[in-house]
Structures are given as structure tokens and as C-alpha cells.
Amino acid sequence: MLNACVLIKVVPTKADAILNGIKKVEGVRKAYFTYGRFDIVAFLEMKDYASLRSITGEINSFEGVRSTETLAEA
């Protein structure tokens, strides 16, 4: 199993909808709001790097996501 953390910057008016959508993505163990440079953090668990690429692509496709930074386990 591979674990990763995705740090997400969003458009403020879309933050609630984005968080709710991210929580429904398969592979997301937990997600919540943060305060600082990033608005949302999501913790993922998946089988391999191909799955990680798919999940992060899905997160980036949400309307209102400005940018993401993914921190994967080595």
C-alpha cells in the first residue's frame, strides 16, 4: 500500500463543495480544512503510483481547485 498527503489550494467560495467532493473520492481516507498556505489537506491510501496519479488528477479536476502539492511515501 502507498500513502500520500495532498495539499490543496482552492477558490474560497467553493471550499465546502470541494471538500465534500474530495471526501467521496475512492482512496481518500480523510480530508479536512487547514489554515495557512493550503486550504484543504487530504490523506490518501492506494495500491500504486498509477492509482496516485489517477486520484490526484481527479482532485485537480474539481472546479475551484487552484493548485495541489502531493507528498507521497517513499
Q: Which pTM does this prediction carry?
A: 0.93
Taken in order of first residue, the domains within the chain and their CATH numbers are: 2-72 (3.30.70.920)
Report which residue type is found at 12: P
Query: What is the β-pairing status of strands 65-72 and 40-46?
Result: unpaired
Residue given cell 467560495 in the structure block: 13
Q: Which residues, 6 or more positions from 60, have their beta carbon under 8 angstroms from its beta carbon? A: 68
Alpha helices in the chain (DSSP H): 15-23, 49-60
pLDDT (tens digit, 0 to 9) for every residue of the chain, 74 residues total?
999 999 999 999 999 999 999 999 999 999 999 999 999 999 999 999 999 999 999 999 999 999 999 999 97
pLDDT of 74 reads: 77
Counts for the chain of helices (H) and strands (E), in that order? 2, 4
